[in-house]
Structures are given as C-alpha cells and as structure tokens.
C-alpha cells in the first residue's frame, strides 16, 4: 500500500467515519480528543466486543457451533491483562486511519477463513498497541479489527 492516507471512495465523509471510530475508541482507550460526534447513526455499523472474544464465529454463522464444550464466561488470567477490543466494521477496506500510525508487521493465513489476517503494530514511541485485522469469511464486506493494548498517547497528529 503506497497510500498512507486512504480515502475510501464510498465514504465521502470519511471524516465522520474516523470521528466515530475515535469516539468509540475513546470510550475504551480513554482518548482525550473530543470529537464532535454529530452522526451516531452513520452508514457504518460498528460492533464492539470487549474483553470477550469468545465469538470465534463472530462474524456470524460459522461452521461448527455444536461444540459447546468450552464455556467462555471465565477470564483467562494467564499473563498480562491486555485489553482486547474487537470491532466489527462494515467496510470494504481494512486500513482506516483512526488517528494512529500502524506498521504492518505480519500477514498470516488463517484456516478459519480463506482470507489472510493482517497484523499491525503502533509505531509510536512508548506505544505498544497491536491491532489485528481480518476479513469476515462469510461476509467479505465486513472487517473484524481487534485492538490489543491501550494507546498511551493521545494521537499522532
């Protein structure tokens, strides 16, 4: 991708799109920026699944659903308490500038979907936030963005 600042042709008002995202993120990432959220009902559907990514079949409708052997209500306190925020966004593009700089550090093909999964990491100094972007296998027009960690900086502006 040679385009650093992708402007989705579909979203004429990508500004609102970004604002909304930041607004959503601000609720979890504690962003100081006050976005003039004037369009809560935008054309983009953003679903937030926080702290519980049990929804492997999150995109809705996935293959095996009968295997309910493992309950997901328990928290796995194995190592660090990384904040995981999964965003299911209805968009054709997965590269959206939410106000942070992301450096792609890996691409892996998942068996659960015919599409590869992209791994991004914040390139801001002192910020160790990671982001994983994956396309829905059932609905390619949907993108699942999972944020891991909390931004320690307001924005890269």
Binding site for DNA (CB under 7 A): 1-2, 4, 78, 101-112, 117, 119, 121, 123, 130, 132
Choose between 34 and 80: whose C-beta lies nearer to DNA.
80
Is-contact 85 132, C-beta < 8 A? Answer: no
Choose between 41 and 69: whose C-beta lies nearer to DNA.
69
Is-contact 15 5, C-beta < 8 A? Answer: no
Choose between 81 and 110: whose C-beta lies nearer to DNA.
110
Is-contact 121 131, C-beta < 8 A? Answer: yes
CB of 105 to DNA, least distance (A): 5
Choose between 36 and 67: whose C-beta lies nearer to DNA.
67
Tokens of residue 76, six digits: 């796995």
CB of 149 to DNA, least distance (A): 10
Mention every residue, 6+ apart, whose C-beta is less than 8 A from residue 51: 75, 83, 84
CB of 135 to DNA, least distance (A): 13
CB of 90 to DNA, least distance (A): 22
C-alpha–C-alpha distance, residues 103 and 4, integer Å? 11
């Amino acid at each position: 991708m040679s385009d650093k600042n992708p402007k989705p042709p579909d979203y004429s008002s990508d500004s609102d799109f970004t604002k909304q995202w930041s607004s959503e993120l601000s609720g979890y990432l504690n962003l100081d920026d006050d976005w003039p959220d004037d369009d809560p009902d935008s054309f983009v559907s953003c679903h937030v699944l926080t702290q519980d990514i049990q929804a492997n079949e999150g995109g809705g409708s996935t293959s095996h659903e009968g295997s309910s052997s493992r309950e997901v209500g328990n928290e796995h306190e194995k190592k660090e308490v990384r904040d995981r925020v999964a965003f299911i966004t209805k968009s054709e593009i997965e590269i959206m500038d939410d106000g942070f700089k992301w450096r792609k550090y890996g691409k892996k093909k998942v068996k659960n979907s015919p599409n590869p999964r992209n791994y991004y990491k914040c390139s801001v100094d002192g910020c160790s936030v990671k982001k994983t972007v994956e396309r829905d296998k059932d609905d390619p027009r949907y993108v699942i963005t999972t944020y891991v960690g909390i931004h320690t900086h307001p924005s890269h502006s």
